Structure 1
Amino acid sequence: MTDPRTLAEQIDAGLRAKARPERAAGEKAYLKSDLEHYGVSMPVIRSTVREVVGRDGLAHDELVALVEALWEVPVHERRAAAVEALVAYRGVLGAGDIDLLERLLRASRTWALVDALAASVVGPLVEREPSLGATLDRWAADEDFWIRRSALLSLLLALRRGDGDFDRFARYADAMLEEKEFFIRKAIGWVLRDTGRKRPDLVFAWLLPRAARASGVTVREAVKPLSDEQREAVLRRKETAARRALVTRGRMA
């Protein structure tokens, strides 16, 4: 197997060869990123990682070394390639790698890196290693909203399948339901929406009594897979609560 640092430089060379400066400028502005951007799309990043790593794959220590080598240079596409390597070879990770993953999540500062790390790397790892539930509990109360978002999204894939720990998600979501941060509101709605595709009654039963507390973006996402009757009941509850709030504010003015 080629040295991981050499692999990292080969991946970097492949990304640079396909760089699009006009895309880089737009992407950097859109993500409000402090990183350098090459302007390479995610499909190209994935294919570049596959081409360089080859059919032999990566053992645990090789994967970690490759990820570290890619991540240490502040270029968005290198870090996205590190995430893709982790997604592709997540099966070699163990509970002891959660510290590495948390460090990467804290350094990411954008949904473009956080979401895949949380949902597609941390999530499957927690399923294999249930003891890591305690780590998710800590994340759910973290001061960093990206870490709180990660706690929510780490439960997404299992819930999307119709499995997973809805009670844990519900506990996290209930505590975050009135947060003002958009990325928390969106994440709650996203997980509820995907859970509702297999278990709409479960989502409806949880959401209806909380509709008044939930943000508009959370509710709009969550009701998408519900029946017409369920959707109307949630939206009616939300609208009634909004009217009452307006009346109350008017009286206090």
Structure 2
Amino acid sequence: MDVEEETARILARLRDQADPERAASEKRYLKSDYTHLGVPVPALRKVALASVRRPPERGELLALVHSLWTVTDDGRPLHETRMAAVEILAKRSSLLEPGDLDVAERLVRESVSWAYVDHLAEKVVGSLVVRYPSLGGTLDVWVGDPYMWIRRTALLALLPGVRSGAPDLDRLSRFGDALIGEKEFFIRKALGWVLRELSKKDPAWVADWVGARMDAVSGVTIREAVRRLPEDDAARLMAAYRAR
């Protein structure tokens, strides 16, 4: 793969589908300081993933991700090429090795929005942790990181295990206890999101965990957590939350 040539191809295809009106709306919605072209996500994904339809070498993958991530337009990062980098890395995350967790961490630390972080957290970091369980120790450190998006990543990286039916309940409980008092909306939401996904497979565990922490759980977290619980459990927990 000629990384420079492939980056130029992707950028040209994205510019061909630019929609200034959508770009302005998207910037407002994401509260973004980046340059936006206004390319819809399905179209962006199609353009990006054409580059890795056939699996590249690991070095080529990482080089292309770096090249796309660092594209600028008018002196600002370009939203669509950053999104393309994330889509490509997620699609071919099976090529990554344990040391490549550092790459994902760098991208998260350079992210300023859930638009990049959430896919990195679940599809890249989470995928690596499932394949290499010893990397869970890094999540234990991240859950106490000063940077909010790293803390959110530590939580959302548990989703692949939850979805596959092999949840790391010990880590989820510990992370939940560490973060349940957070004032940051995106952390409260992430905790509720993970609990909601777990409730699809183990509603009793979620109901018990939330019920035992009624004095600390936030409204954002509990509303997400009970969304897929049996109706009686959800009503009981919400009544207890309102009455506390």
Report TM bin, short chain. Answer: over 0.9
What runs of 5+ residues in structure 1 fail to find an aligned partner? 242-253
Instruction: Confirm or deny that 1:21 pairs with 2:20.
Output: yes
Residues 54 and 121 of structure 1, relative CA distance in 2, 3 Å threshold: closer
1:188 Cα offset (Å): 0.4
* Structure 1 segment 25-36 matched on structure 2, within 5 A: 25-36=24-35
Q: Is the 8 A contact 1:208 1:234 kept in 2?
A: yes
What runs of 5+ residues in structure 2 fail to find an aligned partner? 72-76
Identity %: 49
- In structure 2, what is the equivalent of residue 163 of structure 1? 166
1:133 Cα offset (Å): 1.0
Q: Amino acid of the residue matched to residue 136 of structure 1?
A: L
Q: Is the 8 A contact 1:5 1:65 kept in 2?
A: no
Q: Amino acid of the residue matched to residue 140 of structure 2?
A: D
- In structure 2, what is the equivalent of residue 228 of structure 1? 231
* Structure 1 segment 151-230 matched on structure 2, within 5 A: 151-230=154-233
- In structure 1, what is the equivalent of residue 63 of structure 2? 65
Instruction: Confirm or deny that 1:124 pairs with 2:124.
Output: no
Residues 54 and 232 of structure 1, relative CA distance in 2, 3 Å threshold: closer
1:39 Cα offset (Å): 0.4
Q: Amino acid of the residue matched to residue 201 of structure 1?
A: A
- In structure 2, what is the equivalent of residue 150 of structure 1? 153
Q: Is the 8 A contact 2:18 2:39 kept in 1?
A: yes
1:103 Cα offset (Å): 0.5
Regions of 4+ moved over 6 Å: none
Q: Amino acid of the residue matched to residue 65 of structure 2?
A: V
Q: 1 CA distance for matches of 2:49 and 2:144? A: 36
Q: 2 CA distance for matches of 1:161 and 1:235? A: 28
Q: 1 CA distance for matches of 2:69 and 2:171? A: 31
Q: Is the 8 A contact 2:49 2:87 kept in 1?
A: no
Q: Is the 8 A contact 1:136 1:151 kept in 2?
A: yes
CA deviation string 1:185-224 (max 9, x = no partner):
0000000001100110111111101122111111111001
Q: Is the 8 A contact 1:208 1:233 kept in 2?
A: no
Q: 2 CA distance for matches of 1:131 and 1:190? A: 24
> TM-score, length-normalised on structure 2?
0.95
Q: Is the 8 A contact 1:161 1:198 kept in 2?
A: no
1:54 Cα offset (Å): 5.3
Q: 1 CA distance for matches of 2:238 and 2:53? A: 51
* Pair member with larger Rg: 1
1:28 Cα offset (Å): 0.9
> TM-score, length-normalised on structure 1?
0.92
